[in-house]
Amino acid sequence: MEHNSSNFIRNIIKEDLDSGKRNHVITRFPPEPNGYLHIGHAKSIVINFDLADEFNGRTNLRFDDTNPLKEDSEYVHAIKEDVQWLGYDWDGLFFASDYFQEMYERAVLLIKKGKAYVDDLSPDEIREYRGTLTEPGKDSPYRDRSIEENLELFERMRKGEFENGEKVLRAKIDMSSPNINLRDPVIYRISHAEHHNTGDQWCIYPMYAFAHPLEDAIEDVTHSICTTEFEDQRPLYNWIVEECEMQSTPQQIEFGRLNITNAVMSKRKLKQLVDEGFVDGWDDPRMPTISGLRRRGYTPEAIRTFVRETGVSKGSGHVDSQMLDYFVREDLKMKAPRTMGILRPLKVVITNYPEGQVEMLDAEINPENPEMGTRQIPFSREIYIEREDFMENPPKKYFRLFPGNEVRLKHAYFIKCEDVIKDEDGNVVEIHCTYDPETKSGTGFTGRKVKGTLHWVEATQAVPAEFRLYEPLLSTDDPEELEEETEKTFLDQVNPNSLQVLKGFVEPNMNDVSAQDKFQFFRHGYFNVDPKDTAKDNLVFNLIVSLKSSFKL
């Protein structure tokens, strides 16, 4: 199996099965529906689904929807789409809100056991009483309420008799514990808010730290895989499963989260970029969201390979975003048809080519994959070349077009620059050249050699296109570290050159492209047909990755 490389989580699961501690494997991917998924979530998706797949287990997709103020069904739909696009099918689809009644009953059980109490302290007071890493907390004055009083107050909370923030339910554990998570954590709060799944059925909602272990136990999850920021919460996770007397006992295992350079991995910060108009929505091709990567043209195969190659460990370092680009190139190298696109057009007139004549030339679709065959491209007296491929007064070792110099046109002929046409401001607007009919590509001509090969598009049939070129959205490798060390926020690091829009031309056969089709434009890079803005009369190509990088695996 392609993804069975060894890692410490895999070894734990294998040992559990070999020892008889477990006789089956169930994992889950548990996103909160309060934003779109990003590349960091892709790691969690791949790990959970791959491990279950390897051990013939099951993986649930479960929405941790315990906070109605931040959640939306739009996010639920987007998350489902992303998981499926990455190539995975869940075995069960669940919502935390499916279990609200059972969670409520388990909370009542804790109260009856003297393990939970209703507290009237304000959020600020609770924080103050909690203590610090070096000082123990102190008991709330409401900690010793009777079981009967707590049951009555909790029932009244459930009925909506109190305002938001007026009361909470707290677990009664240990206010002097060295682990702050065990200092009587809040497990229920009042929130008079409409829930995307349960409407106005509830006005009290379980806290994530209480709900999450219960969800895992209800679904009989065997290995609850999460990132290392939850490691300190593992004792609370185990306490809840045990004290709520759950039949199933999931095991929480933590791995290092995936961070990539020049990107933020916080849904809150990504939402800020969207809300404040720095980007064109969650699926902006500059965003590290899965929907943004998809729109830009990254492939699910490349993302899966990237995640597997970054490995599974406890460490949470930054991975160079160029590593992801490397796997995109590797994936597209054999798949993407080659074609020619002119991003900054300059017209060339071949003065000795017959007027009105158009000939069709053969061009390979992908030289690295001959099975893809050939395509026909038109050639005539007028073509477009890249503006940067001509210089009137070139430096030494400039091998492209300049007055008196000869170059090869890819798939076509040698042409020689004879004349330069300028406008009244002295700007070059047209080049006049001659061609040598003996030099047609593929004829075996060896009479002389040229050092420069230019790409081009025939002018009369060229299809207008918009090209969107991208740089990293943020100009520093680690935006969050910079935020900590300076007074600047990550928004100060938004790269003003992250998007450049150019108007040019592509070959006429590109009239038939569909959204998400991918091509390699000769000398420019890999491009994707934008699925959102492309229309029949408005072709839009997103740069996926450049052709080359200094990055080496």
Exposed / middle / buried, residue 167 (Cβ in 10 Å: 0-12, 13-18, 19+): buried
Q: Is 539 annotated as a binding residue?
A: no
Is residue 267 annotated as a catalytic residue, yes or no? yes
Q: Measured between alpha carbons, how far is 8 from 186 in angstroms, rounded to an integer?
A: 33
**List 10, 32, 58, 234, catalytic entry:** 32
Q: Measured between alpha carbons, how far is 237 from 341 in angstroms, rounded to an integer?
A: 56
Q: Is 398 annotated as a binding residue?
A: no
Q: Is 375 annotated as a binding residue?
A: no
Q: Is 435 annotated as a binding residue?
A: no
Please give the sequence-ordered ranges of beta strands (E in DSSP) within 165-300, or none if there are none: 168-171, 186-190, 204-206, 223-227, 251-255, 259-260
Q: Is 33 annotated as a binding residue?
A: yes
Q: Is 442 annotated as a binding residue?
A: no
Cβ proximity of 360 and 378 under 8 Å = yes
Q: Is 173 annotated as a binding residue?
A: no
List b or e across 371-397, with b for residues whose CB sees 16 or more CB atoms inside 10 angstroms.
Answer: ebeebebbbbbebbbbeebbeeeeeee
Q: Is 115 annotated as a binding residue?
A: no
Q: Is 132 annotated as a binding residue?
A: no
Q: Which residue has the tokens 């388990």?
A: 106
Cβ proximity of 215 and 60 under 8 Å = no
| Residue 400 CB neighbour total at 10 angstroms | 18
Q: Is 517 annotated as a binding residue?
A: no
- Closest to 305 measured CA to CA, from 90, 477, 86: 86
Q: Is 93 annotated as a binding residue?
A: no
**List 143, 257, 335, 347, catalytic entry:** 257
Q: Measured between alpha carbons, how far is 513 from 521 in angstroms, rounded to an integer?
A: 14
Q: Is 475 annotated as a binding residue?
A: no
For 199: left if phi > 0, alpha if psi spans -120 to 50, otherwise beta; the answer is left
DSSP letter string, 33-99: SSS--BHHHHHHHHHHHHHHHHTT-EEEEEE----TTT--HHHHHHHHHHHHHTT---SEEEEGGGG
Q: Measured between alpha carbons, how far is 345 from 340 in angstroms, rounded to an integer?
A: 12
Q: Is 34 annotated as a binding residue?
A: yes
| Helices marked H in 251-376 | 267-275, 290-296, 300-310, 321-332
Q: Measured between alpha carbons, how far is 377 from 459 in angstroms, rounded to an integer?
A: 12
Angle between helices 300-310 and 39-54 (to 10 degrees): 80
Q: Is 39 annotated as a binding residue?
A: yes
Is residue 484 annotated as a catalytic residue, yes or no? no
Q: Is 64 annotated as a binding residue?
A: yes
Q: Is 465 annotated as a binding residue?
A: no
Cβ proximity of 78 and 291 under 8 Å = yes
Cβ proximity of 419 and 445 under 8 Å = no
In the chain, DSSP finds a helix count (H) and a strand count (E) of 13, 27
Angle between helices 234-243 and 208-218 (to 10 degrees): 60
Is residue 269 annotated as a catalytic residue, yes or no? no
Planar angle of CA 145, 204, 157, nearest 5 degrees: 40
**List 10, 106, 145, 267, catalytic entry:** 267
Per 3-state DSSP, what percentage of the chain is helix, strand, and coil (rounded to 5)?
A: 30, 25, 45
Q: Which residues are annotated as a binding site for ATP?
A: 32-34, 38-44, 227, 257-258, 265-267
Q: Which residues are annotated as a binding site for L-glutamine?
A: 64, 208
Positions marked catalytic: 32, 257, 267
Q: Which residues are annotated as a binding site?
A: 32-34, 38-44, 64, 208, 227, 257-258, 265-267
